[in-house]
């Protein structure tokens, strides 16, 4: 079975790369791109350029709230990483009351319209607690109500060999008239993988002329501040001279001027960059380049992001790690192909 994949909120293609590169050793079970939609123009261009260069017209740059899904081609599978802004721990956590919170409903609408055999939905771990847990309960109920048996799980991607501590709730749904059971893939095969951020960034070395590898100019004050911050420390845990301390009241976000620890996976790559929220190199007094950030998200070096440096930074931060998505899609394909694999019980708790 070749599964034609449709994507809403497609981002720059982390999910699509994982889907189209998923390989279970049986060419009869694979996933191909059918169509995708996103509201950001640069993101759509990145997706077209890397995922479907021969069919650029299958990527629709439109606001989902005004998008006519009835014009789209039939699909066998659906993926939607619905916007996380209102569920993120870093944001204001408006949940269902925010602008982005209700957008999951368009995924439910697509499930009812296309009746795909299976779907994958992705969001931040904070989704579980939004609106005192009511948002998550409502979303799960609506996905089930659309006719699917759902398996939500909090995937800790560093446990799957990804060089980044990135925790995301991913819901896999199988249409409930199908005799197929999805199992969460085990982390055991990845226990001995070297997934330190040093290895991800340095092995092999990034060529000087690599795509999307421009350096960010650091002010003299930022350079001086970074010289006092040790690997793994941030602006609040480091021993800074008074003139370099940040005058911030209230919540102190731990990622402000935080250096990577080269012996561990990176902390979560986000789309932000201002006010010290870049990811900072463990040794050099600078922010990471977008190519280095892309490596932490396991995008291949030949994957070219389109748009300005700031736009590319946001695209990379919003993406699902390519290799992490591939692991989950391969598990889905194995379920349908009747191929056994090691699995674990689903769990949505940290």
Q: Which residues are catalytic?
A: 84
d(CA 288, CA 327): 26
User: What phi and psi, each to the nearest 5 degrees, are found at residue 237?
Assistant: -100, -15
Q: Count of CB atoms within 10 A of residue 159's CB?
A: 19
- Could you write out the three-class secondary structure of the chain? CEEEEEEECCCCCHHHHHHHCCCCCCCCCEEEEEEEEECCHHHHHHHHHHCCCCCHHHEEECCHHHCCHHHCCCCCEEEECCCCCCCCCCCCCCHHHCCCHHHHHHHHHHHHHHCCCEEEEEEEHHHHHHHHHHHHHHHHHHHHHCCEEEEEEEEEHHHHCCCECCEEEEEEEEECCCCCCCCEECCHHHCCCCCCHHHHHHCCCCCCCCCCCCCCCCCHHHHHHHHCCCCCCCCCCCCCCHHHCCCCCCCCCCCCCCECCCCCCECCCCCCCHHHCCCECCCCCCECCHHHHHHHCCCCCCCCCCCCHHHHHHHHHHCCCHHHHHHHHHHHHHHHHCCCCCEECCCCCC
Tokens of 114: 């296309």
């Amino acid at each position: 079975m070749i599964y034609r994949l449709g994507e809403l909120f497609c981002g720059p293609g982390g999910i699509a790369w994982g889907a189209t590169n998923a390989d279970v050793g049986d060419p009869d079970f694979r996933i191909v791109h059918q169509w995708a939609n996103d509201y950001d123009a640069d993101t759509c261009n990145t997706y077209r350029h890397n995922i479907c260069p021969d069919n650029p017209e299958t990527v629709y740059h439109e606001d989902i709230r005004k998008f006519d899904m009835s014009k789209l081609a039939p699909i066998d599978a659906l993926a939607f990483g619905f916007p996380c802004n209102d569920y993120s721990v870093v944001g204001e956590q408006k949940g269902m009351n925010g602008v982005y919170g209700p957008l999951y409903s368009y995924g439910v609408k697509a499930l009812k319209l296309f009746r795909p055999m299976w779907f994958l939905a992705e969001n931040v771990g904070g989704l579980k607690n939004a609106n005192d847990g009511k948002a998550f309960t409502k979303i799960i109920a609506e996905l089930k109500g659309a006719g699917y048996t759902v398996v939500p799980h909090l995937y800790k991607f560093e446990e799957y060999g990804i060089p980044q501590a990135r925790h995301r709730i991913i819901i896999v749904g199988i249409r409930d008239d199908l005799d197929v059971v999805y199992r969460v893939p085990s982390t055991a095969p990845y226990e001995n993988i070297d997934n330190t951020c040093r290895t991800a960034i340095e092995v092999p070395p990034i060529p000087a002329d690599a795509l999307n590898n421009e350096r960010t100019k650091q002010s003299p004050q930022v350079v001086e501040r970074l010289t006092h911050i040790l690997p793994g420390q941030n602006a609040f845990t480091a021993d800074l001279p008074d003139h370099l301390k940040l005058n911030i009241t209230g919540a102190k976000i731990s990622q402000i001027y935080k250096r990577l620890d080269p012996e561990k996976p990176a902390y979560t790559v986000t789309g932000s960059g201002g006010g010290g929220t870049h990811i900072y190199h463990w040794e050099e007094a600078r922010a990471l380049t977008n190519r280095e950030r892309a490596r932490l998200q396991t995008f291949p070096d030949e994957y070219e992001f389109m748009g300005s440096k700031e736009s590319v930074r946001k695209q990379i931060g919003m993406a699902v790690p390519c290799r992490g998505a591939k692991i989950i899609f391969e598990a889905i394909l194995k379920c349908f192909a009747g191929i056994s694999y090691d699995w674990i019980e689903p769990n949505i708790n940290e």
